[in-house]
Amino acid sequence: MKSNELYEKAKKVSENAYAPYSNYKVGAALRTKNGKIFTGCNVENSSYGLTNCAERNAIFKAISEGESEFEEMIIYVKSGNIPTPCGACRQVISEFSDDMKISMFSGSKGIESSIRELLPLKFKA
């Protein structure tokens, strides 16, 4: 189920999360169809609406580097509930892929899904 390289990168980047309000540190590792890996962590703000999730940070980093075809993402938190992407992240992910594999882990316990399963009726303009 898990790609060890993506899992380790998501776990490592979660340590960089800026989460002074929730103390919920999330890491995401994204593999492009070209095999490149991009990571992201959540960054909170005291004005909560300005907070950005790990998943979107990884995607935005990839886009800024010219990559927009994605294959797989792993989302990681150290403990607690399995971290499923929020609605905003699901919509952003679905913009770039209808079938991307998404694995979500709390420690070593995880589940696998796809963006199609997580957001069956995405918004299209």
* CA–CA gap between residue 120 and residue 55 (Å, rounded): 18
Per the annotation, the verdict on 72 as an active-site residue is no
pLDDT at res. 46: 96
Domains, the chain, with CATH or none: 4-118 (3.40.140.10)
List, in order, residues 6 or more apart from 73 with CB less than 8 Å away. 6, 28, 29, 30, 31, 55, 58, 93, 100, 101, 102, 103
User: Which tens digits make up the pLDDT trace of 98-123?
Assistant: 889 999 999 999 999 999 999 998 88
Tell which residue, 31, 42, 53, has the closest CA to residue 101. Answer: 31
Candidate list 5, 8, 15, 55, residue with the active-site label? 55
pTM of the model: 0.95
pLDDT at res. 3: 81
User: Which tens digits make up the pLDDT trace of 65-76?
Assistant: 999 999 999 999
